[in-house]
Chain A
């Protein structure tokens, strides 16, 4: 019987999508062994969040305290250490997000629990845990077995287990917060919203996403031209923003914007999962990449395996013809 604990991720008053993915995944895993899934919600004035959460877990532990008002990885670590020691779950699940990776590795180390991060699948095997992870820019998968232990911890990549509707009605257990003040050595000050630019890529019907394959800032004008021809807007992958070639508000992906255009054309983008996370819900995805093994082709509807510098101008002129 494998009892599983899953940590609820929420921010600025809303439960994040990863939470329902984790809960769906955790519940399936628990039920396979007649175990139970327990959710842990650390927050302040979060009663409005619990109704929906209760549908996804067998039991929901809630610690309500203003120390949890905003996220501080260290506060989470201390509180969860306490809860996990008491609950003694077989497996603790956390999202592999900016939230989860800030405390899972140190928490597991603190507890002496074998753990690993960024899993895309996990199964209970020979009374232990076997996970699937992705290596080398998504070009390899690996199966790994965690070391024998009565208890494990994993972070799961978002988007790997689609969230399902919940039909449970969990009992809720309010607990005293194990921690009441932020530590002096790490204090949350504020959230700073991303600057708003002149273009809102989340509103566009057609996005031309450009990646590192463009090679050089000067080549962006070609992409701009193309986008204009097709009546779309230029978006990009993270390295383009890292290089300061386009502003942050054009970035698509987990640390950028999530977009749902009617058409997304990925130009010279390899298809790292952080990028996919931001555009996989586009109605139609066309990818142009010269590497036929690029992971983007596993996400796209149509693929063109060729040099973007050849394809874009040709495509632009065809589109101009059709427009006439």
Chain B
């Protein structure tokens, strides 16, 4: 099977302080660490598992600035055979739609049986790239995919719905799968694989290689810290004092 995985390098913000930069349209990034978008790690692993079973190739593609090549190299080390970076710096403001449009320009020239993307990226929280890409390529898709089982030409697909309910589908290839987190156990790259991947060439495509007009659906006007609505009463003091107050509150509510 010939597979494509779309990968994004994103800042890790769950435990970090996030601040607006001087442009008012972006966050201060210099002190954040970056890594492969969480859902993408599962998308990549899903593709690698299929390749291990059926043979074939994996092409990893990332629309990003130069650093995205580090993430692509990790993808190469884990099991991708080739990698392409689309130079984000050449294309101005992006959204999910335009990202998909640029990916499509590259993918339309590659033969593929399936494309894997994450169901969303933790930085901009669009759920767009997978389904829009599918529509542009004229192939079917499924989002929030929790399982892809391939046999012959048919594919059994699970989608995860609210409340843990599973939607079970039968699809045909080629198709796009936007996968949910937790569906497999993403591997670490071994040192040998890292060494081999380090020397591999990453194809870099810029404006001159993708000479089409692509437009965003939306323009970002401003970024701001969410207004606090109801704010918790923060209990302060030593661990012991705080524990005593909390226990007191729980008792007041009649729960002890």
Contacts and interface: CB of A to CB of B under 8 A. Distances in A.
A131 B221 CA distance: 10
B229 interface: yes
Contacts of B220: 142-144
Contact of A98 (B160, B216, B233): B160
B1 to A, nearest CB: 17
B198 interface: no
B126 A140 contact: no
A257 interface: yes
Interface residues of A, number: 103
A322 B251 contact: yes
A135 B125 contact: yes
Contact of A105 (B131, B158, B218, B249): B131
Contact of B15 (A189, A284, A291): A291
B164 A136 contact: no
A178 interface: no
A301 B252 CA distance: 14
Contacts of B136: 109
A298 B127 contact: no
Interface of A: 11, 16, 71-74, 96-99, 101-106, 109-110, 114-118, 130-131, 133-147, 155, 183-194, 205-206, 212, 230-231, 238-239, 241-243, 248-249, 251, 254-258, 262-263, 270, 283-287, 291-293, 295, 297-306, 310-311, 314-315, 317-319, 321-323
Contact of A298 (B228, B235, B240): B228
13 contacts: A96-B127, A98-B167, A101-B144, A102-B131, A109-B100, A109-B131, A117-B96, A131-B218, A142-B223, A205-B255, A231-B256, A293-B17, A311-B239
A304 B240 CA distance: 12
Interface string B110-146: 0000000001001111111001101110001111100
Interface stretch (B69-77, B83-91, B170-178): B170-178
Given A98-B144, A105-B127, A298-B230, A110 B255 contact: no
B212 interface: no
Contacts of A140: 18, 20, 27, 223-226
Interface string B211-255: 000011111111111111111111110011011101111110101
Taking residues whose C-beta sits less than 8 angstroms from the other chain, chain B's interface range is 35 or more
Of all A-B residue pairs in the complex, the 5 with the closest CB atoms, nearest first, are: A242-B182, A194-B164, A303-B232, A314-B243, A318-B247
Contact of B231 (A205, A285, A297): A297
Contacts of A96: 127
A254 B162 contact: yes
Q: Is the interface of A mostly helix, strand, loop or mixed?
A: mixed
Contact of B219 (A145, A256, A257): A145
A11 B161 contact: yes
A255 B162 contact: yes
Contact of B216 (A71, A147, A212): A147
A29 B131 CA distance: 28
- Max chain B CB contacts within 10 Å: which of A243, A302, A305? A302
Contacts of A262: 253, 255
Contacts of B234: 292, 297, 302-305
B192 interface: no
A250 to B, nearest CB: 10
Interface of B: 11, 13-15, 17-18, 20, 27, 95-97, 100, 119, 122-128, 131-132, 134-136, 140-144, 156, 158-172, 175, 180-182, 215-236, 239-240, 242-244, 246-251, 253, 255-256
B223 A145 contact: no
Contacts of A238: 181-182
Given A136-B18, A263-B253, A304 B246 contact: yes
A137 B80 CA distance: 28
A130 B218 CA distance: 9
- Max chain B CB contacts within 10 Å: which of A184, A212, A297, A314? A314
Contacts of B122: 136-137
B42 to A, nearest CB: 8
A139 B182 CA distance: 23
Given A238-B181, A242-B181, A311-B243, A98 B124 contact: no
A255 B162 CA distance: 4
Contacts of B231: 297-298
Contacts of B175: 185
Contacts of B171: 185-187
B170 A189 contact: yes
A277 B229 CA distance: 16
A73 B250 contact: no
Given A118-B125, A118-B126, A301 B164 contact: no
Contacts of B180: 255
A298 B181 contact: no
A291 to B, nearest CB: 6
B124 A135 contact: yes
